[in-house]
């Protein structure tokens, strides 16, 4: 098996030698290698370095071209001149693990996959992880999250690229990988992963001093070029309708969760953000039909409808409602966003956010006095504005499922030893409860503790996380032994056991309890 390594080079004199040495040193050997270096009009001494390697190694081929402004044309030149079975796109400032190609070849021989993605390692930067964590070692593109790694640094079967004329667009310089990948992903038989070995080292060498295109100030048109091009590519795919709609869905899933986030948070002039929004709005109207729309989550459906019917401010309001927390309310026993257009969309289409909100409760202090347990703590809702909530305390016997409820006394906000992130939650509330285990009719078993919140007819339950610094010792109450412990999830529970009948301590406690009852 032969591998063609395609390297677009532009002013990479500081790094290209390390890159080339990492490829030349591959464990598969030189007979299986072909290195295609395309010099894209470098103004440093990259040309001299490349020519030196070409004179030293017969399998290193160098092409000197005028500057094109992006890696697209150099990569296309490499595809046209490659003679290997597979082609690997490597950038001149990155490098490979010494066994990278050997590990990838093993996956090809095992699965016959037309695309192989080797594990990335980041040098001064983050790298894609989700595709390795959420997919099997070999998987079909449809139903995967493969679009969450949208760069070209992958291994492709050369026949796949030539058969379907898969090339990089040369008329723009940011995100040119996405339309290329959309086509390759849609036509591939399967994708294989090398999960257990660092194949590709993605670098952000701050010494070089180049300003990355992804960090530059962009216009709205430049920002959306890759999206327009990728959706056009998908619309022209010669695949069955189901596969086309699934490809649309998977790419829009990326747009709604990655590209929109970038648009909202990236430094851009407001006019450019509005322009980008306007282009995305027209794309959502053109490229999302009802069959595709049904595949999306509740959040994504609202985002799509806002793109199709609203404006940039509507998008920003709902995004903040969803991601910053406490942006939802209860209306007619339904959880809806507080922002107007999003709420109107949810109510009109009956979109459910029931599973979105998380109710959380934690113990801050626990004391025993007069045969009662006194618990103080804090609770909050992750997304819901719960000003009108009513709180209850619930004890549940684990085996039988029997439950006991007790009222909660709210207390004013004051000093409390808790995680500061909890106290920042807009809906956080302190609670105070007195528990008399005499009301809990159980002789032996495990008691789990819950806090219950009712908000406008909707009920939420939360186990009590135990955050107090010291766990209580065993408690002897009403002829029973209560042993508090932390569960594996950090929650507070009690193991209940009857006292031994032959215990002198038991006899003493019984007498003491009778005496207390007489005094009452």
Q: Which residue intervals of 326-403 are DSSP H helices?
A: 340-349
Nearest of 27, 24, 183 to residue 104 by alpha carbon: 27
pLDDT score, position 420:
45
Query: How far does CA 44 lie from the centroid of its chain?
Result: 39
By 3-state DSSP, what share of the chain in percent is helix, strand and coil, each rounded to 5? Answer: 35, 30, 35
CB atoms inside a 10 Å sphere around CB 446: 16
**Separation between Cα atoms, residue 46 and residue 13, nearest integer Å:** 5
Nearest to 49 by CA among 86, 77, 16: 16
How do strand 191-203 and strand 95-96 relate by DSSP bridges?
A: antiparallel
Q: CB–CB of 360/465 below 8 Å? A: yes
The residues pairing with 394 across neighbouring beta strands, listed in sequence order, are 405, 450
Q: Which pLDDT value is given to residue 238?
A: 96
> What is the pTM (predicted TM-score) of this model?
0.84
The packing angle between helices 220-235 and 270-287, to 10°, is: 10
Bridge partners (DSSP) of residue 429 are 379
Packing angle of the helix pair 177-187, 220-235 (nearest 10 deg) = 20
DSSP H/E element including 215: none
pLDDT at residue 211 in the model: 47
Check residue 451 and give its pLDDT: 92
Q: How far, in Å, CA of 226 to CA of 172, rounded?
A: 8
**3-state DSSP assignment of residue 508:** helix
Q: Report phi then psi at 397, rounded to 5.
A: -80, 125
44: exposed, middle or buried (C-beta count within 10 Å: 0-12, 13-18, 19+)? Answer: middle
Residue-wise pLDDT tens for the chain (520 aa)? 999 999 999 999 999 999 999 999 999 999 999 999 999 999 999 999 999 999 999 999 999 999 999 999 999 999 999 999 999 999 999 999 999 999 999 999 999 999 999 999 999 999 999 999 999 999 999 999 999 999 999 999 999 999 999 999 999 888 899 999 999 999 999 999 999 999 999 998 654 444 455 556 789 999 999 999 999 999 999 999 999 999 999 999 999 999 999 999 999 999 999 999 999 999 999 999 999 999 999 999 999 999 999 999 999 999 999 988 789 999 888 999 999 999 999 999 999 998 899 999 988 888 877 777 888 888 889 899 887 888 888 999 999 999 988 888 655 444 344 444 554 555 677 888 887 777 777 888 999 999 999 998 899 999 999 876 666 777 777 678 888 888 889 899 999 888 765 455 555 555 555 555 555 5
Residue found by looking up tokens 């037309």 in the block: 114
CA–CA dist 495, 501 (Å, integer): 18
Which pLDDT belongs to residue 409? 67
pLDDT at 408: 81
8 Å CB contact between 249 and 255: no
Output the pLDDT for position 217: 73
For the chain, the straight-line distance linking the first and the last C-alpha, in angstroms and rounded, comes to: 91
Check residue 412 and give its pLDDT: 46
pLDDT at residue number 426: 52
> What's the confidence (pLDDT) of residue 417?
44
Helices (H), 209-269: 220-235, 241-254, 260-265
């Amino acid at each position: 098996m032969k591998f063609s390594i395609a390297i677009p080079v532009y002013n990479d004199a500081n790094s290209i030698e390390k890159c080339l040495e990492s490829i030349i040193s591959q464990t598969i050997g030189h007979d299986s290698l072909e290195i295609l270096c395309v010099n894209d009009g470098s103004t440093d001494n990259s040309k001299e370095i490349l020519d030196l390697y070409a004179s030293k190694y017969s399998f290193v081929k160098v092409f000197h071209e005028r500057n094109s402004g992006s890696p697209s044309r150099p990569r296309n030149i490499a595809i046209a001149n490659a003679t290997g079975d597979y082609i690997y796109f490597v950038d001149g400032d990155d490098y490979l693990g010494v066994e990278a190609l050997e590990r990838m070849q093993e996956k090809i021989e095992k699965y016959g996959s037309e695309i192989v993605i080797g594990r990335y390692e980041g040098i001064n930067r983050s790298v894609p992880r989700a595709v390795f964590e959420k997919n099997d070692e070999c998987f079909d593109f449809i139903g995967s999250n493969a679009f969450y790694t949208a760069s070209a640094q992958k291994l492709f079967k050369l026949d796949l690229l030539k058969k379907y004329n898969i090339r990089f667009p040369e008329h723009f310089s940011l995100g040119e990988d996405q339309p290329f990948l959309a086509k390759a992903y849609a036509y591939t038989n399967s994708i294989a992963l090398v999960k257990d070995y660092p194949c590709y080292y993605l670098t952000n060498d701050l010494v070089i001093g180049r300003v990355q295109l992804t960090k530059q100030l962009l216009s709205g048109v430049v920002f959306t070029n890759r999206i327009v091009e990728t959706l056009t590519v998908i619309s022209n795919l010669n695949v069955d309708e189901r596969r086309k709609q699934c490809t649309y869905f998977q790419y829009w899933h990326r747009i709604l969760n990655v590209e929109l986030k970038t648009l909202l948070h990236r430094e851009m002039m407001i006019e450019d953000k509005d322009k980008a929004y306007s282009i995305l709005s027209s794309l959502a109207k053109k490229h999302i039909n009802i069959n595709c729309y049904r595949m999306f989550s509740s959040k994504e459906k609202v985002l799509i409808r806002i793109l199709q019917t609203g404006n940039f401010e509507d998008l920003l309001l709902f995004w903040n409602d969803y991601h910053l927390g406490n942006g939802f309310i209860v209306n007619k026993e339904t959880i809806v966003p507080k922002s107007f257009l999003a709420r109107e969309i949810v109510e009109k289409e009956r979109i459910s956010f029931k599973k979105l909100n998380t109710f959380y409760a934690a113990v801050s202090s626990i004391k025993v006095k007069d045969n009662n347990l006194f618990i103080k703590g804090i609770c909050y809702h992750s997304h819901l504005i719960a000003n009108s909530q009513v709180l209850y305390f619930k004890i549940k016997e684990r085996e039988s499922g029997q439950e006991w409820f007790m009222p909660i006394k709210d207390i004013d906000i004051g000093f409390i030893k808790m995680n500061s992130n909890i106290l920042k939650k807009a809906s956080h509330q302190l609670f105070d409860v007195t528990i008399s285990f005499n009301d809990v009719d159980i002789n032996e078993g495990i008691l789990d503790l819950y806090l219950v919140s009712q908000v406008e007819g909707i009920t939420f339950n939360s186990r009590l996380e135990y955050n107090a610094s010291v766990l209580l010792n065993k408690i002897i109450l009403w002829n029973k032994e209560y042993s508090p412990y932390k569960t594996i999830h950090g929650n507070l529970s009690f193991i209940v056991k009857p006292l031994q009948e032959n215990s002198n301590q038991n006899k003493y406690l019984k007498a003491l309890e009778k005496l207390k009852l007489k005094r009452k």
